[in-house]
Amino acid sequence: MEIIPVIDLKGGQAVRARMGQRELYRPIETPLARTSDPLDVTRGLLSVFPFRTLYVADLDAIEGTGNNDAVLARLRNAHPALELWIDNGVAELTAARRFLDAVPARLVLGSEAQRDAALVAGLKDDPRVILSLDFRSDAFVGPPPLLAQPDLWPAHIIVMTLARVGSGSGPDVARLRDIRARAANAALYAAGGVRNASDLAALKRDGITGALVASSLHAGELTRADLNAL
């Protein structure tokens, strides 16, 4: 089971995500770090466990209000061995190619940013590309053809239930099982609602490859011992 910590960036700071209501996100306060500086928060996460991968959502880029490229460069320089999964709202092939050519990271294509299924379909065979299937409540956020055609999906897929992010309500098991049945050979990652090691163990039994986590790490509900066991 691969556990991937998450940092959300807004205005150069790491912010606390809560149920996808981005207008309410504020700089994070966590016992793992003295400040909300993304490097401090990353160091705090790595003090819990030597994670190999970090998922970073650049919320300014996703919302089209700017970007956190300078922060991402600092993260890469400070932790060159840490693989970054970056969601920055890319929705055009030119921008995706520019990112993949220039940045030593994996590109997350969020369905919420896509206008159609063309970009995902065109990059589905690139091992550096990850698809995030985004859901808000019971609704898919993105072009319907993208959800309806699993043959367009790449080998790595995140199932992101935004209403469960930071909610402590548990993973969206039913949706994960549905996507698992439709993409039997894909590496599937759960995002949203993971509370503790029991949730992660249950996901592992369901054949889920990994999970994106944040709140449970900051709250101390996932410990080094838990993560070693998984």
Q: Are 60 and 29 in contact (CB under 8 A)?
A: no
Exposure letters 179-188 (e unless 16+ CB within 10 A, then b): bbeebeebeb
Q: What mean pLDDT comes out for the span 174-189?
A: 95
pLDDT in tens, 78-104: 999 999 999 999 999 999 999 999 999
User: Is 20 a residue whose pLDDT tops 60?
Assistant: no
Q: What band does 24 get if pLDDT is binned at 50, 70 and 90?
A: low
What pLDDT is attached to residue 162?
Answer: 80
Q: What mean pLDDT comes out for the span 155-167?
A: 84
For 2-229, CATH gives: 3.20.20.70
User: Is 6 a residue whose pLDDT tops 90?
Assistant: yes
What pLDDT is attached to residue 156?
Answer: 98
User: Is 208 a residue whose pLDDT tops 80?
Assistant: yes
| Sequential DSSP letters for 23-34 | GG-EE---TT-S
User: Is 196 a residue whose pLDDT tops 90?
Assistant: yes
User: Is 49 a residue whose pLDDT tops 90?
Assistant: yes
Angle between helices 69-78 and 38-48 (to 10 degrees): 40
What pLDDT is attached to residue 166?
Answer: 61
